[in-house]
Amino acid sequence: MSRMTSASPATPRSRLRPGDLLPVGTVGLRARRLRAGLSALGVAIGIAAIVAVLGITRSSQAELLAQIDRLGTDLLTVTSGRSLEGQEAELPSRASGMLGRIDGVRQVAPTAQLAGVNVYRSDKVPAFQTGALAVRACDPALLATLDGRVRHGTFLNPATARYPTTVLGYQAATTLGIATLGQPTRVWLGGHWFTVVGILDPLPLAPELDRSALVGFPVAGRLLGYQGHPSRIYVRTTTDSTTTVSSLLARTADPQHPEQVQASRPSDALTARVAAKRATTGLFLGLGAVALLVGGIGIANVMVIGVLERRSEIGLRRALGATRGHVAGQFVVESLLLATLGGVAGVAAGAAIAASVADRQRWPVQVPAVAVWGGLAAALAVGVVAGLYPAMRAARLAPTDALRSV
């Protein structure tokens, strides 16, 4: 036996160029397009759900935040708790003037809910059908303090405030069935006819005014028994002194009983809604994650079947010089491609869904970047995990068995 043979040149190792890995990984996909499409669809649905939920949530939050910004966080309200009948209790008559003297307060607008006074469309309406509407006396400065807008007609002015005229909140006008002010319109208010001179736009920071009919203080004192005690005072502060002013309101409004006075910031309620939206997102994200998981299992399933069906191809590739690693790499790349395909389609579909929903609601369209990159990363992760087991099976297959199986 010749020992010379051991001196023969060493055989180079088997090598697959990294650039060839991608085309090799697509061989199976190209051969079974429908199956590849369907298995990618599973991942696409999961990713689309996640991206759409994140995009819609972000867009509606953006809308709320924009709304808060527009309305301002510098509005405060002062109330004195509630009486047993659910009416707003009275504040001292000097409260409004005292509040106006706090440093940092720009505008003060007192209002008084008039106890036992209701508004009806006409004097024929039974007295109990109040429509849950309130009647409030207010100052002509109220609209400016709240930064509100008049939808139809005009707001009260020092002149009309002295006569039986009223401005209806948005909901109050709807409830009374008054849509426009094309012709002179009167309502039966506290046993007198009042002419409607204006209808307000909704006031998100003062929703109680939406369900109110507003009259001037002078006419309220003359016809409706107003005693000069405000029940709710709106305070507009300079932006950077809101917190300081807020802490002084109770003591200033009612020095005798500061514990009965409540000072609140209406924008806090809107801010809380932003947080609440964030909380409900979790549920939908969970559903999206379940869809993604199912999609991943779908890919793994298709890959396992692919490995079984392609035993002879695996055997052939081993015979042509593929290592176990090359075979495993081919199947992982294939799975990765499937998931990426699904991920890209899912991100596109999810963003489109979010955009169309936001567009219909007239929200600013915002799809968070983290949703896009996160969605793609999740798809890649699913692809790798789903591909690992089938790839290991393919790699472990003995070439002789693989070639014999046909």
Partner 1 sequence: MTSIVPPSPSPPTPPADAATPVLELDQVRKVYAGTPPVEPVRGVTLTITGGELVAMVGPSGSGKTTLLHLMAALDRPTSGVVRVAGQSLGALSDRRLAGLRAHRLGVVFQQFFLLEHVSALDNVATGLLYRGIRGTERRRLARQALERVGLGHRLGHRPAALSGGEQQRVAIARALAGHPQVVLADEPTGNLDSAATAELVALLLQQLNRQGVTLVVVTHDPLVAGAMTRQVQLRDGQVVADSGGRYP
Residue among 19 and 182 whose Cβ is closer to partner 1: 19
Among 22, 27, 272, 283, which residue sits at the site for partner 1 (rule: CB under 8 A)? Answer: 27
- Binding status of residue 398 toward partner 1 by CB under 8 A: yes
Smallest separation (angstroms) from partner 1 to the CB of 324: 6
Among 14, 93, 243, 280, which residue interacts with partner 1 (rule: CB under 8 A)? 14
Least distance to partner 1, CB of residue 342, Å: 21
Reference 118, options 220, 228, 222, 213; nearest CA is 213
Which of 12/182 has CB closer to partner 1?
12
How would you label 254-285 residue by residue, b for 16+ Cβ within 10 Å and e otherwise? beeeeeebebebbbeebeeebeeeeeebeebb
* Phi–psi pair at 204, nearest 5 degrees: -60, -30
Lay out the site mask for partner 1 across 68-107 (x = CB under 8 A, - = otherwise): ----------------------------------------
H-assigned helices in 32-159: 33-71, 95-100, 142-146
- Cα separation, 28 vs 313, in Å, equals 10
| Binding region for partner 1 (CB under 8 A) out of 25-33, 58-66, 149-157, 341-349 | 25-33
Q: Among 155, 313, 378, 379, which residue sits at the site for partner 1 (rule: CB under 8 A)?
A: 313
Binding mask 315-354 for partner 1 (x = CB under 8 A): xxxxxxxxxxxx----------------------------
Cα Rg for the chain, rounded, in angstroms? 36
Question: What does the alpha-carbon distance between residue 27 and residue 16 come to, in Å, rounded to a whole number?
Answer: 15
Decide if residue 16 touches partner 1 (CB under 8 A).
Answer: yes
- What distances in angstroms separate CA 84 from CA 89, 137, 181, 212, 360, one per listed residue? 9, 21, 37, 20, 44
Name which position in 30, 101, 124, 362 contacts partner 1 (CB under 8 A): 30
Contact between 305 and partner 1 by CB under 8 A: the answer reads no
Strand runs (DSSP E) across 115-228, as ranges? 119-120, 134-138, 150-153, 165-168, 186-189, 192-200, 212-216
Contact residues toward partner 1 (CB under 8 A) are: 1-2, 5-17, 19-20, 23-24, 27, 30-31, 312-313, 315-326, 398-400, 403-404, 406
